[in-house]
Structure 1
Amino acid sequence: MYIKSIVLDGFKSYAQRTEIQEFDPFFNAITGLNGSGKSNILDSICFLLGITSMSQVRASNLQDLVYKNGQAGVTKATVSITFDNSDKKASPLGFESSDEISVTRQVVIGGRNKYLINGVNVTSTRVQDLFCSIGLNINNPHFLIMQGQITKVLNMKPPEILAMIEEAAGTRLYESKKLAVQKTIAKKEAKLKEINRVLDETITPTLRKLREERSAYLEYQRLTGTVENLSRLSIAYEFTLAEEAQVSSAEVLKKMQAAVKELQGSMAENEKKQTEIEEEITKMKKERDNEVSGVLHSLEEAFAEIQRVNTKAESALNLKKQNLKSEEAKRKELVKNMEEDFKAFLLKKEEVKKIQNELNALQEASEKDASALAAAQLNAVSAGSSTSGDGEEGTLSKQMMTCKIEISQAATEAEQVQMKLRYAQQELETKESEVKNMDGEYKKDKETFEAVRKTKEEIENQMKNLNYDEKKEAAFLAKKKALTNDIRRLKELCEGFMAKFPYLWFEYKHPEKNWNPNNVKGLVAFSITVKDPSKAKSLEAVAGGKLYNIIVDTEVTGQKVLKNGELKHRYTIIPLNKILARCVNKEKIKLAQTLVGSDNLHLPLSLIQYESELKKAMEYVFGTTLICDSMESSKKITFDKRIMTRSVTLDGDIFDPQGTLHGGSASSQAASVLAELPEIKAIKTELETKKSELCSVEDELERLKNVAVKYQQLKQQWEMNCEQAELLEMKLQQSAYHKHEEELLALKKTIAECEETLKKIEEKRQEAKNKYSLLENKMKNAESECKKALKNAKMQLEDAKKKAEDSGQKMREKQQELEALLLELKELEKEHTSYKHQIEAADNAIKHYQEQVNAMEAEVSKTKECVERSKEELGKKKELIMSQHKEIKAKSAEIVKCREQNNVLQLNIKELEHNIKKHQQRAADAAATVTRMLKENKWIASEKHLFGQPNTAYDFKKNNPKEAHQKLQKMQEAKQKFTKFIEINLFFSLHQYNELLKKKRIVENDKIKILSAIEELDRRKIKTLHQAWEKVNKDFSSIFSLLLPGAKAMLTPTKTQNILDGLEFRVALGNTWKENLTELSGGQRSLVALSLILAMLLFNPAPIYILDEVDAALDLSHTQNIGQMLYTHFRQSQFIVVSLKDGMFSNANVLFKTKFVDGVSTISRHVSLQNK
């Protein structure tokens, strides 16, 4: 059997159907450039033979076998081979009657494999069996020799070479089968051991026990008979019930279905009532919302404003009352303090009179002592004058006297200032203690003032952060009004154009969420800009109806817009990814320019501007037409046989190559869409801009509205806090604590001045003391005579001086005391006067506050009345709205009630539907039970008429089925207990036991026979292997000598000299035997491997051999020798050889040459000259 022809369709590089006819029965060669599809022919043969390893055909999966993986429109690969089967001796089993056998294999992308033999669908196993029966096992392809197989043979070790011999001799299959049998024997051996164990341990003892329990077995048989009778009764009763249930369920189903219809009617009525109530509620809500948004809102605003004014007035009144109380308390305190100070003043006045009298007496005594001192000083001076000759002593005495006077005056001044300081310090302590007592209330008012001031500052900051300007809102309102007028005007213009050109207005609804508007490019008309308005009419004629087509990015977008876009007109969609653009041929354009002149011919695409992404769409609309200046030019171009292209004149007249003409004067006078399009675009652009601005303005107004409410609230709070802060500040300034603070500051200032004066007086006194000491030293240096003369005078002077000083000191003390009292009197008089002024001021303040309180009380009374009236109006309006709300609520409750009723009805319907399904299922189950029972119990059909009949075995009245069922269960339990102790069927068990023993003996005998057969087959295997080795060795030597003249080769056993240990190559070049193959050249080693492979093939010839570039590593002479060798040794087989060398395919009878043309493989057949 050999290949006659091959048909390839869609297989690998053979995209189109390719037939390779008239294969030579003996030697065929295939050649061609690399990548032209030579090896793909061999792959197709392997594919058809049913190969499972895709790597053998250079593919990763079946889809790779289809031309370009199905990307080029070819979705299946088909290979058909016709075999010549005229030699009936070599015919496959079952096909002896067929002279030709046609086998087809087809693979479809995403589908399944399909095999056909002689046009009949068969399985892959059937195809493999066919080829295996003639020695073409594709999954162990000894008939397929690839280039890499030669290298593989060269690298084989002795056991692997032996395996090749075994494969050729067929003993390899025996070895694999033997191993499988040995594994099976081992498994069976284990099973036999298990069977022996079960027999010995379980079955034999059980059978022995069964024989002993025969009586129990007889009882069991009796129970079995009774159980059978009761079981029949129970089954009959169950069958009768099932039939009755089947009948009764149909009636119940009818009733339930009627009830469902009735409930559904009630639901429909409820839904209708619900809809009516919902409409009433909508109407009532609308009325209520109008009331709330209008009247109620204004009443609430008015109430809030009146309440704010009232709160402000009450707050101011409370503050004024607090101020009034404070002033009254202050006046009371002042009156009390004035009376106490007046009493102290009278006491001090009496004391002053007393001290004045004492001072007068001391003054008289002091004057006398002063006179005596003056006389003594005069004596002393006289004495000094009499003793001094130059008058210096008298001068020093005067100076010392002056110093003493200055020191005395300084001491007096210091004493007076000290008294004033002590008084001021005492007053300061007194005032500070008084202030401490008053500190709590003042601090509280001060903290309140600070808190109010801080709150006021925070409100100011919040108002600044709002960035609100009352003028800004007015400006935005004016802008909104202007924009609204502009939009209305532009819409009117658009509507005018819409009436004029209705198809220019394309509007659609977004078909889905997250829709990208950029996917829809819009109308063709709006996607272009005409460069020259004078060409607008002609361009419009060129585009025609396509001017109103819609451009989209993909066909998917177009489908979505058409399906869900809610279009108002019918539109044609242009998807950019699918549209096929066509343009006038450049040669035709050049020819047309030659005919009419380039100035008279225009390309429409050159007269418009558009986005680059829309190029394909524009070419589709404008690309197939030319524009001419005149009708004559258009006529020439259109009807010229070399051009024959549609043209349009500037006036819009259309010339068509088919002989039609469109246009005329009426057409030229009609309004041009493209001419007016710029104005329409400008209006639309302006309209969109204005709409966008209006949205921004409305957003800003909404924001300002929200901010304005907040700003007014903050402003109101700020005003109240400002007024409260002013009142608190006034209260703090007019408080007694504040005045005492001012007095404390004055006293502290007086104390500081007194301390400064004391410091200056002390400096002056110290200066006088220093001068006095200096003068005194000078006096000590006077003449001793003077001293003696003055001694007596000085003693007198000292005595007089002492008396004068004593009286003067007493007088000064009294004088100082008097001055202090007078100072106190003066201060008391001042305080009395101050108290009078303060009381007078307090009276004025009290009067003023009282007047303000009276006025404010009247104002608060009025505002309260306004608040009450506003509150009453607001309450009435709220009651009205509340009543409306209650009505709405009542209506809503009715809806809820309807819904609840519907829910209940729905539940009832579902329950009924569930019951219907349940009864349907029950009826079906009953029918299934009847059918099942009839099938399982054949006796029912014959005895059915007896079920329930009296005086029969199935009399349900006489034999209560329930009691029978209970009795049956008890007897089955009793029967079950017996089954635990005895075998049910003793004879059957004994039979099984005997059969098991018989099979065991058969298995054991079979094992002995198999082992004996294995030994015999092993001997035959060794004999066959020796024969195969000798035959292969002989052919190997012969083929190698033919391929490489003068050389010898053989296969010899390894060093053990046992062929079963492996075989190795021995090669001789001339008479020299090489130790190993490494001493040979690469080509010689390839010839050794090729010779062995061919010798193997010769041992067990296949009908077909496939060689794929086995001569790749050989030179031309060796290649020529291969061709001659094939002629010599292989006369009974067909060879298909792929080669690039002339020496190989020159020996072929038929040569097939492959070429790769336009991405597809082609093949041509050539018959060699020698064959001719």
Structure 2
Amino acid sequence: MFKLQRLEITGFKSFADYTEIVFTGDGITAIVGPNGCGKSNVADAIAWVLGEQRVKHLRGSEMKDVIFQGSRNRPPSGMAEVVMHMVRDEVVESEPDIEDIDSTLEQIDDRVVDIEGPFLQELQTNEENADKALPDSPAQLGATEDNTAAANEHPAHRAHKRHWRRRNLALEFAPGEAVSVTRRLYRSGESEYLLNNRICRLRDIQDLFSGTGLSGGHYAIIEQGRIGQILSAKPMDRRTIIEEAAGITKFRVRQRAAEARLEAARTNLSRITDIISEIDRQVNSLRRQAGKARRYTVLRDELRELLRRVYVAEDAKLAALLDETKGKLEEVTNVEHALTEELAKRENDARNATLEARTIEDELTNARAAAAEAVLLRDRQARECVYQQEQLVALEKRKAEVQAEVTALEARLVLIESECRRLQEEDARLQTAAEQSASALKEAEESYAAKLTAANETESEIETARGELLRQTAFAERLREIARQLDSTLERLSVQADGLA
């Protein structure tokens, strides 16, 4: 058994920060607090680090709900981590029967051979060899030998994946030795299990606590409503809890592993039987293939001897042909040298003739250029003479037009001067009228100001009279009120007088 010492929680449900809970001493440890402070989350953290996979038992809809979801002032966490520190507090007695079962399962795993690999590969190789034809060339002979050698080199056994792992992890910890179990869950969905800070599997954690009531359908953690579920559970579910409490579950696990090994052995036996029957059917085919292989070897040796003779004859023929070709090559080389000298001489004569022709062509080009330049100069002078005559005629015509414009401008200037004198006289007359109008306007403004003052005084008198009228009206109204009061008093007095009479 193990004794719980310390629990470290980070980012799990309501524990956003690193929280450490220390369990000291013996006896019972109680966690108290108001509603919603996270008491149940401590039990959920213990169940979660022990490998709980049922999200409903963790009071969530999906496994990511155990990660701190954030609050108004804090962002959500990216990882939830729970570390449970324990210490081994007793010695586990050796179980010879269980150790015998474990050793037997290990021996079965060691003896398992992948029968499909080598036998099926050999059958496929035989079928391919039966369909192949004899090679037609020496290159194919060498390729066939290489393929045959490569086909013969195949492994006798293939490494088999081991399915069984001994379930004695709890026995590996001595009494008093510390054990830490860690589980991490990232928001991306990745999960990790660590045992003493080493990566392990969920199965290793379950094996560690097998028989302690903390693995699988654990009964050691009784949450709210769990007792009612146990009492109302089906007989098979209740039997599972009872078997876990009695320590039978670990034996059932070993039983299932042994049955799986036996089933695998039966499957291998059936496969071996099928392969043997297939090999028996292929015996005749293999015998024919062996006869063909022997005939192929004899024919291959004969072919090699014939090819060697052909190669020797071809070598002698090619040597004679080479000597004849060398003699012809020397004759052709001599003829080539003579033709080369004759060609060089003729090329030199042609080069000299080409130089003379180029010299004459340059002189002819210069003469043509001088004649063309003289013709261009003559044409340019003729065009300039014609242009100058046209300019003289245009200037004479322009001169006559300018004189006519000057005469018209002089006549117009006389008219403008007379108009200016008339406008000056009109300006003087208008200025005199403006002065008269200004003086009349000034007198009208003074008269208007006097009338405006008189009107203001009249309005003031009217306002004063209106105020006096309002005061007199109010005084008259008061007098009428007093008269009405006096009339009512007289009537009352007369009524009293009549009453006294």
TM-score by length of 1: 0.17
TM-score by length of 2: 0.37
